[in-house]
Chain A
Amino acid sequence: MSLIKREIHKALNNTQLREAVLSSCRRSVEKRNLTSSEIDDYEAARQRAKSIRQRSIDELESLHADFRKVFEAAGGQLHYALTADAACRIVVDLIRKAGAKRGVKAKSMVTEEIGLGKALTHIGIDAIESDLGEFIVQLAGEPPSHITAPALHRSKESIGRLFAEKLGVSYTDDPVELTGIARRVLRERFVKAEFGISGANFIAADTGHVVVVENEGNGRLGAALPPLFIAVTGIEKVIPSLHDLPPLLRLLPSSATGQRITSYVNLMLPTGREDNGSQEFHVVLVDNGRQRTIEDPLMREMLLCIRCGACLNICPIYRSVGGHVYRSVYPGPMGAVLSNLLGSRSEMHMELPFLSTLCGACRDVCPVDIDLPRLLLELRARASKPVAERMAAAGWLWTMSSPARLEMAGRIAKTTGRLFSGVLPTGGFVESGMSFHHQAEKQRR
């Protein structure tokens, strides 16, 4: 029996897990249905959001240039990272240069994707997760099981036991008290934090704002309190204008948590930071396979995703087994696709597109109308290609996963005039991958 099948059986036999996941997903879907039914002409709103995201992807390079201009003029520093390793290195270097040791992190799926937590722990930098759900899974030494509700798989009793064991507090399973305990522990850390790290839901090319959508207030504190602030996000998160934000916000919180809007939407600029915010403000844009996905005409649609998690909540497979079975940072339908496009992939993820009934519910709830069943089918077809072809593709991925190897491959490609010809999903992407990498390196110097 394959590893994933064993994981599935394990999850199916875990009644507590299944109840926690199912009831949580059900509540999310109910709330999502309620708020989205309030939106006048939902389908028109969805197509508008989609077209904004489409433009972001189509004009990515020029939007990055625009963003750089205004963001740097406001006193910020922009960094590009071609790979997960490169992104971690940039963040580590910034923290080291500041002589910082202890900091706070807000929720960010991209930092999970690049393995930033591990990279920081490895060199003795203490970055505590401040989002309650992330704080819980970090204490437990587990990965998050949902992209917007990281501790969804845990009961309040198990969280109570975890807090008693790890924080030395007396046991309680009252969510209000548990939240209060986390607030006290983390408030102390916020005030003393030497750096703050967060993700970004969007960055606005015309004004330079970094947009963080959140409910707890940890995003605001992490950006305002420490002298060094670093936002890590994917290259695709740029939007043409700040005026594109409201149409996207009409759908994002509604799809994610069934709220009309979240408690906080923070539009952050580096200016004025000496008064209210951080002294240093950095944005790290992570590629890690996104550029090559943009150049893959059959898969680029996936980059429209705004990470709401609605497709997880509605998916009959996710609802039955939860997120850990996927063994990927991104679970559920979006995760089954994304995990096969980003970073260095393993054989493992090629099985994920088969964790779907192709019922199409994910497509129906997607706020930017991504045709997830089509993408899943395409990936299934690619997974069943002859082994030799897959091996070559795997070699290509190994090449792509390191800047040094990529550079070497580029040199080889220049002398031989071709690289892995015939097995690459799209022609010419190495060329642009190289230029993007060079651009990133040049900008770092």
Chain B
Amino acid sequence: MNMSTDKQEEKSLLIDEFRQRWLEVSGEYVPVESEGDVSRQLLKIIKHNNIRSVVLAQLPLLLGIYDLLKGEVEVLADFSSDKYNRDKTIDLCSRAEAGITSVDALISETGTLAMSFYRRGDRLISSLPPLHIVVVFDVPVYRNMDTFLCAAATELSLSFITGPSRTADIEKRLVLGAHGPRRVIVLGPES
């Protein structure tokens, strides 16, 4: 009993640290109260930002909200079927105003998302649209990259994502959205 409370507390602290670091790198964070709250918050973000089209990663958690989204926004691709066409994926992801994925883990020390690529389309969904929405409800949190790599499946391609795409190549002025998303919104636990 005590053990699990300790673990819960430790996870809370790590999530708090993640959230702080994530905000420091111009990431955005929307707390969700429960799994059921995810779709409500997601819809709110989509409406608030006038998003007209999305691409959705193949993800059990997101499949539940597919129908919900369909009424409100054009779902260009959901990748839940087995028919996968690379050129079509590139085309759809280029047209979508937002891409929705989950990630494998959070890394608190640097405010980093760890995302491995075994799900179809994930790399493009998280790279091409100007807005990347990340649903991280109930994913593991690691203190740093070292501890994450010890637990991770290293036979996959991985990306560590820390905030939106950025450049400072013109007079060292920070500009967001160089080639990747201008905004990355994490929907995550309260703490």
Task: List chain A positions with a Cβ less than 8 A from chain B.
Answer: 20, 23-24, 27-28, 74, 130-133, 136, 149-151, 154-156, 159, 175-176, 178-180, 182-183, 186-187, 190-191, 207, 209, 215-218, 220-221, 224-225, 242-243, 245-247, 249, 257, 260-269, 271-272, 274-277
Query: Are B154's CB and A175's CB within 8 A?
Result: no
Contact with A264, one of B128, B177, B180 (Cβ below 8 angstroms): B180
Contact with A218, one of B144, B157, B171, B179 (Cβ below 8 angstroms): B179
Query: Are B179's CB and A267's CB within 8 A?
Result: no
B191 contacts A by Cβ under 8 Å: no
How far is A367 from B152 in the complex, measured between Cα atoms in Å?
27
Query: Are B171's CB and A263's CB within 8 A?
Result: no
Task: List chain B positions with a Cβ less than 8 A from chain A.
Answer: 21, 25, 84, 86, 90, 94, 109-110, 112, 117-118, 120-124, 127-128, 144-146, 149-150, 154-173, 175, 177-181
Contact with B157, one of A151, A262, A263, A277 (Cβ below 8 angstroms): A277
Query: Are B145's CB and A221's CB within 8 A?
Result: no
How far is A275 from B172 in the complex, measured between Cα atoms in Å?
36
Supposing A261-B160, A275-B121, A276-B117 touch, asked if A133 and B149 sit within 8 A by C-beta, the answer is no
Shortest C-beta distance, B115 to chain A (Å), equals: 10
Query: Are A276's CB and B145's CB within 8 A?
Result: no
By beta carbon, the residue of chain A nearest B170 is: A175
Supposing A183-B178, A216-B165 touch, asked if A265 and B160 sit within 8 A by C-beta, the answer is yes
Query: Are A217's CB and B180's CB within 8 A?
Result: yes
Supposing A243-B149, A261-B110, A277-B117 touch, asked if A269 and B170 sit within 8 A by C-beta, the answer is no
Shortest C-beta distance, B91 to chain A (Å), equals: 8
How far is A155 from B171 in the complex, measured between Cα atoms in Å?
6
How far is A404 from B180 in the complex, measured between Cα atoms in Å?
44
Query: Are B175's CB and A175's CB within 8 A?
Result: yes
Query: Are A261's CB and B90's CB within 8 A?
Result: no
Query: Are A225's CB and B90's CB within 8 A?
Result: yes
Shortest C-beta distance, A31 to chain B (Å), equals: 9
Supposing A151-B169, A216-B165, A216-B178 touch, asked if A246 and B159 sit within 8 A by C-beta, the answer is no
